[in-house]
Structure 1
């Protein structure tokens, strides 16, 4: 008796579970009896279990077919219970299916609570974070991430793969002002294009190609919620929030940009800041612009010369344009051998080309030796 666990299941409950596993009521009765007797004749099993004598033979053979018992003949038919490790494979299979179903139910419960087109409201940060892993895998050009060091580490594998595909990755890293940076800067190499340290705590935010966004408050002092976006116009709101509140005002702690030509930009504002001072000094700047033609949606890959910049903000000095000055309309004028184009950023609709990547390949000073 000392070996009997204190939480022993009663007979009625065991009987119900066996029926759920696929046994008939008579089969469950006979099997429970054999578990108690070990081995017994068919007639003894029928008498003890209450299974009618005319049915006991069919019941035992069905249990044998399912692996629960073994029958054998002496002067009459006998049966004995098989080792549970072999006999209960069907029951264990049912348990595994239940566990799988429970996991699926929990996973689906964490997904969209409110789904309106391409914007979903979800309950938990974990849902947002795991979705972020998948979204990063789809990135073609640009990733903007606001995260803690621990969150960054958990996404390093996906981010590194994206960086190796040529994706431009900006990381706004939250580290409290009195804390030392808990990462060696070498950990950013091969993963990030640029990292800025942010003292103020903020949300988790991932933006991919200015089209997809994963946002979560992840605030332990209040209810968590998250937003998943797959829509350019809605994602742009999060992009502007990222630039103004999580990026522009903070200092760079790691810069992985090329120190030598070619220079590559994924934001037209960054490209304008780079080329405008050079154009003011009459430099000749040649390169490429990848994007799509606004009117047709066809992909474009233009090679030529950056000849001018235009934006609505007014200039008061020779310093590069500020984000505020570039906040409204901002465009480049780009000339190829065949034509001249106006180029805007992603989502441009009044320009000839919506640019996704701006590449400066050569800078020549006309007053010099070229």
Structure 2
């Protein structure tokens, strides 16, 4: 390493060019008086004294001011490197505390060219699901991802599934595989959305044939997740027929996924179970309470038959409280009175 490259490396530790020249002079002399260093470095003696104090504070040199005249001695390079390494290591906890991991652009999109890899990615993504899954898949391939779907349900994840290539009258094994399943005899793209953030889209022919030249895309962007969810519920869900619904969850229970809370409320209504609801969040259009407590007097939803929402992703609970009747929606609610962050359901006593 030549002097120029060495100087560039030292600059990374906050040393100026002039300070570096002086330090390299001290290294060459080993130990010398300020006047000798000044002459060799082409700087003033006063500057040498000033710089030597800075270098001593960093562990680069030792100033021997107990002798007359004062001498300045370079510390052994091994000790300097150890000191620098220790300082860098000491920064690690503070840096990690402030660090926010973000996916690189190339990690946010992945192009897949084989059916085997598509199914592998679907399984991997299902394992990451924390709150909600929307998936469409040919029934012939359902066994490939069934273990991951069942595991997601056991974690309390809302699983909304469309299986294609079959009809409601077929003998289908759907028990425990999803929260609600619809079937459609027509082919459709394989679509997957995980927690409205990550997902996959593959053309229907790609998963139907092993020799297809089509390609699938895996994405990890919060901007795309809601688009896939909207397409799933808006374009395909209404075309399919309801084939399976899970039993209502044991209550009381708290849901941080609003769509899941609406599904459970609808299942309870089907079973003639009256519910009280506590919704925590904020009023959408006015100042007001951050918590609503009352009885469910209305549901607008499109997850289960009969559907009664006015647009595909509308999910609303109408709650009658002592202060009045309020419509409640989930995160991003704009037509409802209240935006809920969590919903607790309990049977009426």
Q: TM-score, normalised by structure 2?
A: 0.49
